[in-house]
């Protein structure tokens, strides 16, 4: 059974470096890659039924847009000979990466150090700390 690397991807230069790092290792070892793009959102706001319907529609649109970011990278990896899959999810990045790592049987989680925006830097900075504390598998943080 070959290793599977779960790669956190958000389209930023740092996450592209994480994909490159994972891809290089996968080519050498025969590991599979699973790219995950998490669209952060808060489940803690309260809305009317109409607002909830609108939120659901916007959420679906966000997932579709996010897929147009990660799918071409996955397709490129497969063309380059790396067995890669991807998924886009809504929620808390730390929780979802840990959940998906278990579900996918990942042997390692690989993320970039930070994202491009100030918000992404706060989220991913927190993500690296969260994963270092609670990830079910080793975590590699690519500078």
What tokens were used for 89? 């999810």
Q: Phi and psi (nearest 5°) for 6?
A: -95, 125
Cα–Cα distance, 66 to 72 (Å, whole number): 11
Domains identified in the chain and CATH numbers: 4-142 (3.40.50.620)
Q: What is the pTM of this model?
A: 0.82
Interval 57-114: pLDDT, tens: 777 777 788 888 999 999 999 999 999 999 999 888 999 999 999 999 999 999 998 6
Burial (CB < 10 A; 0-12, 13-18, 19+), residue 73, is: buried
Cβ-contact 78, 109 below 8 angstroms: no
Cα–Cα distance, 38 to 6 (Å, whole number): 12
């Amino acid at each position: 059974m070959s290793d599977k690397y779960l790669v956190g991807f958000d389209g930023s230069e740092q996450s592209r470096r994480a994909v490159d790092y994972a891809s290089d290792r996968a080519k050498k070892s025969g590991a599979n890659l699973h790219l995950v793009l998490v669209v952060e959102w808060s489940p803690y706001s309260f809305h009317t039924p109409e607002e909830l319907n609108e939120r659901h529609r916007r959420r679906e649109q966000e997932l579709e847009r996010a897929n147009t970011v990660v799918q071409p990278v996955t397709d490129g990896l497969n063309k380059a000979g790396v067995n890669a899959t991807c998924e886009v999810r809504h929620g808390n990045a730390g929780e979802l990466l840990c959940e998906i790592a278990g579900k996918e049987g990942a042997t390692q989680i690989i993320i970039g150090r930070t994202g491009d925006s100030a918000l992404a830097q706060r989220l991913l900075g927190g993500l690296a700390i969260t994963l270092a504390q609670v990830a079910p598998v080793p975590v590699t943080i690519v500078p």
